[in-house]
Structure 1
C-alpha cells in the first residue's frame, strides 16, 4: 500500500511517517505539511493508494483535501487522523467523502485496522467517533440514507439495531435479549437488507440519523 502523509507539525509528521512505515505492507512515499502539497504530489506520482491526513492544516486542510480528491483523484482513499472530536467536524468529514476518521488518541492497532479496512474498499470510523456521533442526535448524513416510507422494522429488529448502535457485540446482544447469537446475526443481515446499507457502520448511521438511540 503506497501512502502519502499530511500533517502540519513537523515532529508529528516525521513520527507518523515512521510509525506507518513500520507497518507491514505500507510504503510511505512522501510527507507533506498541507493538502495543497498532497495534490501536487499526486499529479507527479498518481500511483498512490491512500492518504493519511490531519484535519486542520494551513493552506488546505483535510476536509478541502478530501473534496478535491473526490473530484481529481477519486481512486485515492483518505483517512483523516485528527484531534478534532466535535460531532460537527466528524459530520463534515463524512459528507466530504472521507473513508476513515480516527482520533490521534487511538492505539497503533486501531490505526492499522483502519488503514487495512480502507485499503480494501471499506470505511472506518473508530468506536470513539461513533460514540461522539451518537451523542449528537440531530446529526444528518447524506441523502442516500433517507428513510423510505415503506420500511417497517419489527420491535425485535429495533431492539437489535439500538444495541448495535450502542456498540454491543453479537454475544452481548444475545445475552441482553435472551436469544441465540445466530439469531442476532440473522437480524443484523435482515436489517442491512431492509435499510439498504452494507455494513454495521451503515446501521449505526441510520440509528443516529433517525434518533433510535
Structure 2
C-alpha cells in the first residue's frame, strides 16, 4: 500500500465494457486507486512489472495469454502483488488451476460492487477470498474420492501428445486454447482427450484436473 494506506489496483479483462466499468467503480472508493488496466495476460504481466500494485483483479479466459498462465508468472515474479480472480467460470478445473497458479482469491462476475470492493480490501491484507459457490466446490473436491494413482510398475501408457494435453488440462486450459497452443485442430484435441480418458479411467474433466494436480504424471509411463 501507499503511505496513505491507499490500495493500488490493476484491472484485467478482455471485455472493454467490463474492464472500464470495474476500473471506474473501484477507483471511486476512497482507499483504492486503479493504476492501470490490461486487456490480456501479457499486458497484465507488463502492468505489474511497471506499477507493482497491491492487488491484481484478473479475468481468466483472455486472448494472447490467459489468466492462469499470467497468474503463475506474476505470482513467481511479483509475490507482493495479490491476485484476485474475477471470472464467469466457477467450474472445478478453472478454480483449481487458478489457485494452483498462485491466486489468493476467486470471485465470479455475479458478485456486486460491495462484494468485489470488500474482496479487494481483504486481498490487500493478505487474506484469501473465495466466493461461497467456490468454497462449496472446493469442499466437494476435497471430499470426493480421486482416481487412484496407477502403480509405477504398470502405469498408464500415454503418448507424448496425450501427456502434453493432460498437463494443459491441469493448467485449466479448455479445448480451443489447447488447440491454439499446440497448433492442432480442436477435433484432434478431443480425440486425444477421449483416448487418455479411456486409458486413465477418467469420468470427467475434473477427474483429469485432480489427477494432474495430485499426481504430476509421476506414475505414468509415456510412449515416445
Q: 1:3 aligns with which of 9, 12, 26?
A: 9
Whether 2:104 is the aligned partner of 1:105: answer no
CA contact (8 A) 2:48 2:74 kept: no
Calculate the TM-score normalised by the size of structure 2: 0.59
Aligned length: 140
Q: 2:30 aligns with which of 18, 24, 29?
A: 24
State the secondary structure of the residue aligned to 1:105. Answer: coil
Alpha-carbon shift at residue 103 of structure 1 (Å): 0.5
CA contact (8 A) 2:106 2:129 kept: yes
Contiguous gaps of at least 5 residues in structure 1: 141-213
Alpha-carbon shift at residue 42 of structure 1 (Å): 2.6
Q: 1:60 aligns with which of 42, 60, 65?
A: 65
Q: How does 1:108-147 map to 2 (within 5 A)?
A: 108-136=113-141, 137-138=143-144
Instruction: State the partner residue of 1:156.
Output: none
What RMSD over aligned residues (CA atoms) do the two structures have, in Å? 1.9
Instruction: State the partner residue of 2:39.
Output: 33
Alpha-carbon shift at residue 62 of structure 1 (Å): 1.3
CA contact (8 A) 1:101 1:126 kept: yes
Contiguous gaps of at least 5 residues in structure 2: 1-6, 147-224
Q: How does 1:36-185 map to 2 (within 5 A)?
A: 36-46=42-52, 48-136=53-141, 137-138=143-144
Change (3 A) 1:135 1:24: same
- 4+ residue segments displaced more than 6 Å: none
Alpha-carbon shift at residue 139 of structure 1 (Å): 8.0
State the secondary structure of the residue aligned to 1:68. Answer: helix
User: For the residues of structure 2 that align with 1:139 and 1:103, how far apart are their CA atoms?
Assistant: 26
